[in-house]
Structure 1
Amino acid sequence: MLVRQSNDNQERDVFVDAGDWTSRRLILAGDGVDYSIHDTTMKAGTHTLLAYPHHLESAYCIEGEGELEDTVSGERYPLKPGTLYSLNRSDRIRLHAETDVRLICNLMPALAGTETLDSEGGYPLVPEARPALRKKNVFVVNLNEFNLGRLKSIRNADNYNFLKLLDASDVLEQTHYDIDAILTKARNTLQQYPGEVDGLIHYIDFPVSTTVPILCQEFGLPSASLEAVLKCEHKFWSRYEQAQCIADHIPKFAAFDPFDDDALDRMGMAFPFWVKPIKSFSSYLGFRIDDRDDWDHAIKEIRAHIGRFQGPFDALLERVDMPAEVANIGGGDCIAESIIGGRMCTQEGFVHKGKLRVYGTVDSLREPNGSSFSSYQYPSRLPARVRKRMTEIVEIFLSHIGYDNAPFNVEFFWDANTDQIWLLEVNPRISESHADLFRKVDGASHHEVSADLSLGARPRLPYRDGEFAYAGKFFIRSFRDAFVKNVPDGDALAEVARQVPDTIVRITCEPGKKLSELMDQDSYSYAMAIMWIGASSPAKLQKNFEKAVELLDFDLEPIG
C-alpha cells in the first residue's frame, strides 16, 4: 500500500512546466503502479490539443472554467468544477481554458516522469512505463516479411502482436479459390488462439477483401459490412449504386454474358470501350475494345479464364440481398464501360464512425501503351482543388452504400482539358502497393490506418515525417513474352541498395519459366520486377529508377 501526504512530500513530486500548462506528477510508473496521477493546471487563454495514441485518461475539474471541443464531431462541452471527462485512443479534443483550469488527472499506462505532449497532443510510451494495457492481438491475412516490416514501421507497433492468418497458398495466385475452405481454416485458427482476438486486417484483393468482413462479423470485430464491400467489389453493382448518387462522374456502362454470341449487339456500346469481368483484380482479363477483332480476342481469353472467379464470387453474393437490377449478374458476367481518361490517381482514406478522411493521394503514371502502369508516385502533383473534389465525390458514394469502419482506396481520372473528374473504382482496403510510399514520405506505412481501425480507433497517420520528400513504386516490364534464362542475383540487389539507399526490389519472374506463366498480369505486359524508391524530387526519383534499372540485368530469350 502507498500512503503519501502531498503537501509534506513535494520533493518527491515531479513538476513539469510545458508553457501552456503545468503539472505536478503525484504518482508515476516508478511507484510500481500501472497508472499515474497528476495535479495539472491549464493556463488561462490557452488552447491545448489532447489526443492520446497510447494512453487512456480520466480528468476531474476542481477549479476554473473553460470548454472541451471534440475536434472530430465538432461538439463542445462546458468545463467547470465538477466536470469529469474520459478519453480513449480514438478521441481527439481541444481544451480551451478561459481561466486557469485545475484538473486531477489519471493516466494509464503510467507516465515515467517529465513527459510532455507532442505536437499531435499525445504522450510517448516510454520503456519505463508499466504496460497496463496489454498488447493487442491483431491477425493479418497472409502476413509476410515485407508487410511485417511495414507494420513494424508504424508508431505504436510495440502495442501489437501481429499474427499470421492464412497462407499465400490459400489466398494468392490460385487457379481456384474455395471460399468455404478459406473461412473454415481462418475460423479454426482464430478459435484455437489461446488469447484474445482483438483485430483482423488485410491488404489483399479478392478473395481476402470479401471474406474478412464475414470473419469480423462472426468474431465481433470492427469492419465494414459484407454488403457494403460487395457494392465496391462487384463492378456492375458498384456502377449501379454510383449512378444513383454520382452519375456525372462515371462512364456509360452495361453488363453482358461473355458466353452470349450476340452480346456485342445487345449492349449497344459504341467503340471504343473497355471490358472486364464483374470481379477481377490488377487489370486481369481487362481489354480495350477498338473494333470487332479486339472483341473476338478478348472474349476468347475471358471465356477461357473467367471461371477462376465465378464460383467463389457467386458463393459470396448468396450471403447478401441484391437489388433486382443486379441480382442476375454474377461472377461469370462482365461489364463494358465507355472510355474515360486523363491524369490518374488513387486516394487512400478511411471511414470511422461515419467520418471520412483522405490522408494521401498517389499519382498513377502509365506506359506509352496507355494500359500498363509505369509507376505510382507520392505525394500527388494534382491541384489541391481537384483532390478536394475527388474526396467529396467518394464521400458521397461511400455514405450512400453505408461503408464504415474500414479503409479504402479509390481510383480517379482528371481530364485537365474539361476539368471533368471520373471515378474508376473503389477498393475496400489499403493498397499494399502504396505502403512503402507512405513509410518513405510520412514516416509510417498506412498499415497503421488498418491497425487502428481493426481496434475500433480513429487513425492518426503521421504527416511528412519520413526520410524522403517523394517516393515511387516502379515497374520493370516486358511487352513481349520471353523465356527467362536468368534474373539479377543477390550481388546486383545489394549494389542497388548501396547506390540507391532504402530501395526495395522484388523480382517477380523466375529462371526457367516464360513470362506468360506469371499470374494476375494485365493484358498487355509482364511485370518482371517491382521497386520502391525514395528521392528529394520527382526528377531525382526518375533518375534513381533509371540507375537501378542499369544495375539489374535480365537475360531473356524472345519467344516467336
Structure 2
Amino acid sequence: MAIRNVFVMALDDFNRAMLERLQGVENLRFHSLLDLETAVDTRHYDIPALLDRARRQLRAFPGSIDAIVGFWDFPTSTMLPILRREFGLRGPSVESVMRCEHKYWFRMNQEKVAPSQTPAYAAFNPFDSRFPDEAPLAYPFWIKPIRSHSSQLGFRINDRSAFADGLTEIRDNIDFLARPFNELMTHAEMPEEVRTVDGWHCLAEEIISAGRQCTVEGYVLDGEIVIYGTIDSLREGVHGSSFSRYQYPSDLPVDVQEAMYKATHDFLKQVGFDDSPFNIEFFYEEDTGQLWMLEVNTRCSKSHSPLFEMVDGASNTQAMVDVALGRKPDFPEQGGDYRLATKFMLREHEDAYVRRVPTADEIAAIEADIPGVRIQIVAHEGYRLSTLFHQDSYTFETALLFIGGDSLEEIERKSEQVKGRLHFELER
C-alpha cells in the first residue's frame, strides 16, 4: 500500500507519540505543518503570514499531500478549511466551520433547530459608549469575544461594576483575537448581519451553570454522522468557570445522551458540516431535564485523546486522520486497558513565579511506577503563571494528568500519588 502523507498543524511530541500508535500507522507519515511557537503559543497571530508559510511548506514538499489535519483551537481550526480548499483536500467548508466558530452565527443557527436548548443571547460592541451604563441582557450574564477559546476574556457579569471591569479587560486585550479572526472572516461568504458582527464584538449570554456539563465527540464522513463517545466535564473555582477534570465514559442516563445525539445531528445538518471530527458541549439540568447546547468545536479534542486511548484502545485522532483520508475510522475492537479514564487539570488560583517544575526524569519515574498515568507539565520554569498561553480568566494551569483505572476510587488514589510526587516551587 502506498504511503500517505498527513500534515498536522503544529505537531508536538506528546501528540506525535499518540498518532504513531494509531491503527494503520505503518502506511502513514506525519509531518508538522508550521510550528507551535508561531501557530499556537503566541498572542500575535499573523494570519496572512501563517497561511503563506503553510502554502510554501506544502508546495515545497516532494511527495503527495494526502491530508491536512489539526487538533488545536483558534486559529488552527479556521485555517485548516482554507488550506484544504486551496489544495483540493477533503474537509468541511470554510462557511460551515464559521457557522460553528463565530459565536453569534452559531447561536443563530442553533436557534433554528433547537430553540429550547438555546440560551438568551445578544451581540454587542464592547467599545460602544452606552456600556456599561446599559446592559445587553438582564443581569446576571456571561460575556466573551465573538471568537475566543479556553474561556479567554470570558467573564461572569453580575452587575454594572462587574460589567465595567470586564469591559476594561476586553477593550485592553481583545486585539489579539479580533485582528486574526477578521482576517479569517475574509475567506468565508457570510450574510451581512453576521459579517458586521466582526471580531471586535462580543456575545452576552444567559447564565447556564446549574447541572452537569458533558461533551459529545464524533465525526461526519460523506454526510453520515457518527458519535463515538460522551465525556463528563467537572468544574471548579470562581463561578465554576474552570474545568477541573474530564471523565470518560460519561455516566449520564442513556436517554439524556440520546437527546444530545439528536441535537448534535440536527445542528450539524443545519450548518452543512461534513468530512471532519467534531465535539459539542452540553449542559444538562438534572432537576428539570433541561438540555442546553453550549458550544461546537470543529475538531477532535486533544484533551480527550488519551482518555479514548486508555478506554477504547485508540484515541479520537484515529477519526481525525481517517476521515481526512476519506475512509471510515479504524477503531480497534478489543478496547483499551482500563474501564475509565480521567484528565485532571492542576490549577493555581493566584499568580506566582515558577522557580521549579518537575524534571523529565522525575516524570518518567512517576509514569513508570504508576500504571496508566501520563503527565504534561504546563507551567514554565523562570516565568510567571500569568504569562502562560491559553488560560481562562480566573485560574492558571500548572500540569495535566491523564489517568486510567477500573474505578473512580482507583483513579483518585493514583491522582493523589502523582500529585504527592510532583515537585513544583512557586513563589507568590
> What are the superposed Cα offsets for residues 282-318 of structure 1, whole Å, 9 maximum, x if unpaired?
1111111111221111111111110001121111212
Asked if 2 retains the 8 angstrom alpha-carbon contact of 1:256 and 1:263, the reply is no
Match of 1:524 in 2: 394
Find the aligned partners of 1:291 and 1:241 in 2 and give their Cα distance: 29
Shift of 1:210: 0.6
Per-residue displacement from partner, 1:399-425 (whole Å, max 9, x unpaired)? 011001111010000000011110000
Task: Give the TM-score, by structure 1 length.
Answer: 0.74
Which amino acid in 2 is paired with 1:409? Answer: N
1:315 aligns with 2:183: yes
The amino acid that maps onto 1:361 is T
Correspondence 1:164 to 2:32: yes
Is this contact kept in 2: 1:476–1:529, CA < 8 A? yes
CA distance in 1, matches of 2:114, 2:290: 13
**Cα distance, 1:485 vs. partner?**
1.8
Match of 2:215 in 1: 346
Q: CA deviation at 1:261?
A: 2.8
Q: Distance in 2 between matches of 1:515 and 1:539?
A: 31
Aligned to 1:452: 322
Question: Which of these residues, 120, 124, 130, is aligned with residue 252 of structure 1?
Answer: 120
Deviation at 1:153, TM superposition (A): 1.6
What is the match of residue 285 of structure 1? 153
Could you give the per-residue CA deviations for residues 20-79 of structure 1, whole angstroms, max 9, x where no partner exists? xxxxxxxxxxxxxxxxxxxxxxxxxxxxxxxxxxxxxxxxxxxxxxxxxxxxxxxxxxxx
Question: 1:369-408, aligned counterparts within 5 Å?
Answer: 369=238, 370-408=240-278
Aligned mates of 2:103, 2:120 — CA distance in 1: 13
**Conserved 8 A contact 1:446-1:461:** no
Q: Cα deviation per residue 1:309-346 (whole Å; 9 max; x = unaligned)?
A: 11211112122222232121001110010011310011
Instruction: Write the distance in 1 (CA, Å) between the matches of 2:359 and 2:35.
Output: 26
- Displacement, 1:463? 5.4
The superposition leaves residues 178-234 of structure 1 with CA deviations (integer Å, 9 ceiling, x where unpaired) of 111111111111111111111111101111111110111111110000000011111
Q: Which amino acid aligns with 2:15?
A: N
Are 1:271 and 2:139 counterparts?
yes
* 1:124 corresponds to: none
Q: 2: CA distance between counterparts of 1:386 and 1:316?
A: 36
Query: Does the 8 Å CA contact 2:372/2:405 hold for their aligned counterparts?
Result: no
> Which residue, out of 196, 204, 211, partners 2:79?
211
- Structure 1 stretches lacking a partner, 5+ long: 1-132
Structure 2 gap segments, 5+ residues each: none
One-letter amino acid of the structure 2 residue matched with residue 538 of structure 1: L
Aligned to 1:492: 362
SS in 2 for 1:329: coil
Alignment of 1:351-366 (within 5 A): 351-366=220-235
CA distance in 2: counterparts of 1:480 and 1:464, whole angstroms: 44
* CA shift in 2, pair 1:248/1:463, >3 Å: farther
TM-score (norm 2): 0.97
Q: Does the 8 Å contact 2:219/2:275 carry over to 1?
A: yes
Distance 1:144 1:505 in 2: 14
Of 135-144 and 331-340, more deviation after overlay is shown by 135-144
Q: Specify the alignment match of 2:168 in structure 1.
A: 300
CA distance in 2, matches of 1:208, 1:508: 20
Greater helix content: 2
Equivalent residue number for residue 431 of structure 1: 301
| Structure 1 counterpart SS, 2:304 | helix
Query: Which is higher, the Rg of structure 1 or of structure 2?
Result: 1
Percent sequence identity is 43
* Structure 1 letter corresponding to 2:90: P
Amino acid at match of 2:5: N
RMSD: 1.4
The higher relative CO (CA closer than 8 Å, separation ≥ 6) is in: 2
CA contact (8 A) 2:307 2:315 kept: yes
Work out the CA distance in 2 between the residues paired with 1:381 and 1:499. Answer: 29
Q: Distance in 2 between matches of 1:238 and 1:282?
A: 17
Greater strand share, structure number: 1
Partner of 1:556: 426
Q: Determine the structure 1 residue equivalent to 2:284.
A: 414
Q: Which stretches of structure 1, 4 residues or longer, exceed 6 Å deviation after superposition?
A: none
8 Å CA contact 2:133–2:160 kept in 1: the answer is: no
| Secondary structure, aligned partner of 2:303 | helix
SS at match of 1:465: coil
